[in-house]
């Protein structure tokens, strides 16, 4: 009822500009104590992970298959990521204060998966993490004060996780301390070689970058630096950083968004060669609501969720490819659309195509929206 009321208020406010058409829903069969916790895409299949099962969906939200997760009593599998080199995905299963284990699933036919090899414990990881990344065979796990690189070794009938010597910590970045709140990767090509730039976000100081070369399917760090976003005058010294999202990365240039806890989101353009930092725009916070879950981007569309104290979620959609003259003058951008979800404890939000967005709109509901007129002119 509350959400219906809010919807109509938002609709009146934004109907002039509305470009998101949300006309398709799917209901998932969830128990009352079950939570949706993560999502990943593996070769065109969407994997929606809950605290007790994972559901495979196609881009049209057809449910292809459902499996129970390999929770073991102490550990709950709460993160999922596709493995880019194989028709596989990995679940990370965690328990506060204990080491995690990973479980691999391999495709056996159409939408059928089965557990591949043994469960892999990672005894050197002692702190829970809220995302992990796999690039080639490199697995990156964040801890409070570092990013740790591992190698996944996939054999014919089994696999394992090997440690490496690469650790991105305060010493690596030549700084006094590091408190990692987020990290993200994006690739660029240079001289027929693939590189990945890893943006590592420090709670207090902002963005550290590390360049890695992608060789024999492994990431090897070779260069690093610091982007002092607080020196831009737009971000106050007392700001604390929550998320970093790369937009476009080249050898000497990084375009990215940083999100603070209490203010807004800032889109920057940084040139490494002369340390030139330029604020492109500010993507305004929604009222005094708290930033929530993860920012998503797809070409010029930026999607930023917020939550209030009743746990209602509003998702602000920005089209950064287009700004009116007025917006260019004040360096502030308001959302083009707002999507609303009922009160939920966790959100999933993903693109199924360039202009098709899926989000959790209610406890057991996913909604698909078409974002028309979002193309850059």
Q: Is 226 in the site for ligand NAG (CB under 6 A)?
A: no
| Binds ligand NAG (CB under 6 A): choice among 62, 74, 158, 372 | 74
Question: Shortest distance, CB of residue 1 to ligand NAG, whole angstroms?
Answer: 35
Q: Which residues, including other chains, have CB under 8 Å from residue 208's CB and lie 6 or more apart?
A: 168, 173, 175, 178, 199, 200, 201, 202, 224, 225, 226, 227
Nearer to ligand NAG, 76 or 361 (CB): 76
The single-letter DSSP state of residue 374 is -
Question: Shortest distance, CB of residue 272 to ligand NAG, whole angstroms?
Answer: 7
Q: Is 171 in the site for ligand NAG (CB under 6 A)?
A: no
**Coil/strand/helix, residue 244:** strand
Nearer to ligand NAG, 39 or 106 (CB): 106
Burial letters for 29-40: b for 16+ Cβ neighbours within 10 Å, e otherwise?
A: ebeeeebbbbbb
Chain residue at closest Cβ approach to ligand NAG: 73
Question: Shortest distance, CB of residue 3 to ligand NAG, whole angstroms?
Answer: 30
Count CB atoms within 10 A of the CB of residue 97: 9
| Binds ligand NAG (CB under 6 A): choice among 250, 343, 356, 375 | 250
Nearer to ligand NAG, 87 or 364 (CB): 87
Question: Shortest distance, CB of residue 101 to ligand NAG, whole angstroms?
Answer: 4
> Whole-angstrom Cα distance, residue 319 to residue 52?
36
Q: Is 176 in the site for ligand NAG (CB under 6 A)?
A: no
| Binds ligand NAG (CB under 6 A): choice among 54, 89, 101, 292 | 101
Torsion angle in degrees (nearest 10) through CA of 94, 91, 354, 60: -110
Q: Which residues, including other chains, have CB under 8 Å from residue 136's CB and lie 6 or more apart?
A: 84, 85, 214, 217, 218, 219
| Binds ligand NAG (CB under 6 A): choice among 203, 234, 289, 322 | 203
User: Are 55 and 111 spatial neighbours (Cβ–Cβ below 8 Å)?
Assistant: no
Nearer to ligand NAG, 86 or 289 (CB): 86
Count CB atoms within 10 A of the CB of residue 346: 15
Question: Shortest distance, CB of residue 307 to ligand NAG, whole angstroms?
Answer: 17
Q: Is 273 in the site for ligand NAG (CB under 6 A)?
A: yes
User: Are 354 and 299 spatial neighbours (Cβ–Cβ below 8 Å)?
Assistant: yes
Question: Shortest distance, CB of residue 331 to ligand NAG, whole angstroms?
Answer: 20
Q: Is 252 in the site for ligand NAG (CB under 6 A)?
A: yes
**Coil/strand/helix, residue 187:** strand
| Binds ligand NAG (CB under 6 A): choice among 8, 23, 32, 110 | 110
| Binds ligand NAG (CB under 6 A): choice among 87, 127, 169, 364 | 87
Q: Which range in 2-10, 70-78, 162-170, 324-332 contacts ligand NAG by CB under 6 A?
A: 70-78
- Long-range pairs, 114-120, Cβ under 8 A, ≥24: 115/70, 116/88, 116/158, 116/159, 117/155, 117/157, 117/158, 117/159, 117/160, 118/158, 118/160, 119/70, 119/93, 120/159, 120/160, 120/161
| Binds ligand NAG (CB under 6 A): choice among 78, 137, 181, 186 | 181
Question: Shortest distance, CB of residue 23 to ligand NAG, whole angstroms?
Answer: 25
Q: If we measure between CA atoms, which residue out of 240, 209, 231, 233 comes closest to residue 222?
A: 209
Helices vs strands, H then E, count in the chain: 2, 30
Q: Is 43 in the site for ligand NAG (CB under 6 A)?
A: yes
Q: Which range in 31-39, 174-182, 342-350, 352-360 contacts ligand NAG by CB under 6 A?
A: 174-182
Using CB under 6 A as the binding rule, the residues of this chain from 121 to 140 that contact ligand NAG are 121
Question: Shortest distance, CB of residue 363 to ligand NAG, whole angstroms?
Answer: 27
Q: If we measure between CA atoms, which residue out of 39, 83, 65, 27 comes closest to residue 352?
A: 39
Contact positions toward ligand NAG, by CB under 6 A?
A: 43, 72-75, 87, 98, 101, 109-110, 121, 174, 179, 181, 203-204, 248, 250-252, 273
């Amino acid at each position: 009822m509350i959400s219906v009321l809010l919807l109509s208020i938002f609709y009146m406010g934004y109907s002039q500009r509305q470009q998101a058409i949300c006309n398709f829903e799917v209901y998932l069969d969830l128990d009352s104590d079950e939570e949706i916790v993560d999502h990943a895409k593996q070769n065109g299949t969407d994997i929606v992970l809950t605290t007790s099962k994972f559901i495979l969906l196609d881009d049209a939200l057809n449910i292809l298959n459902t499996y129970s997760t390999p929770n073991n009593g102490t550990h709950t599998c709460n993160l999922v990521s596709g493995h880019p080199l194989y028709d596989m995905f990995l679940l990370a299963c965690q328990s506060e204060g204990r080491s995690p284990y990973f479980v691999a699933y391999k495709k056996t036919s159409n939408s059928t998966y089965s557990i591949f090899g043994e469960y892999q414990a990672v005894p050197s990881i002692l702190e829970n993490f809220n995302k992990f990344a796999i690039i080639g065979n490199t697995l990156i796990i964040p801890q409070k004060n570092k990013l740790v690189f591992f190698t996944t070794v996939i054999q014919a009938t089994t696999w394992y996780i090997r440690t490496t010597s690469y650790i991105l910590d305060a010493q690596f970045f030549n700084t006094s301390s590091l408190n990692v709140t987020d990290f993200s990767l994006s690739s660029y090509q240079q001289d027929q070689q693939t590189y990945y730039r890893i943006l590592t976000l420090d709670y207090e100081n902002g963005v550290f970058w590390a360049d890695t070369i992608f060789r024999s399917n492994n990431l090897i760090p070779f260069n690093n630096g610091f982007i002092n976003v607080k020196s831009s005058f737009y971000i106050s010294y007392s700001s604390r950083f929550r998320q970093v999202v790369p937009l476009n990365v080249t050898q000497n240039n990084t375009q990215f968004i940083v999100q603070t806890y209490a203010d807004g989101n800032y889109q920057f353009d940084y040139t490494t060669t002369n340390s030139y930092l330029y604020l492109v725009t500010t993507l305004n916070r929604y009222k005094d609501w708290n930033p929530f879950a993860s920012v998503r981007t797809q070409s010029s569309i930026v999607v930023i969720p917020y939550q209030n104290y009743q746990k209602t979620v509003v998702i602000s959609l920005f089209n950064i490819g287009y700004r009116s003259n007025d917006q260019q003058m004040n360096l502030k951008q308001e959302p083009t659309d707002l999507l609303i979800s009922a009160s939920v404890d966790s959100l999933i939000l993903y693109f199924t195509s360039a202009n098709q967005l899926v989000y959790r709109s209610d406890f057991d509901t996913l909604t698909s929206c078409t974002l028309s007129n979002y193309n850059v002119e």
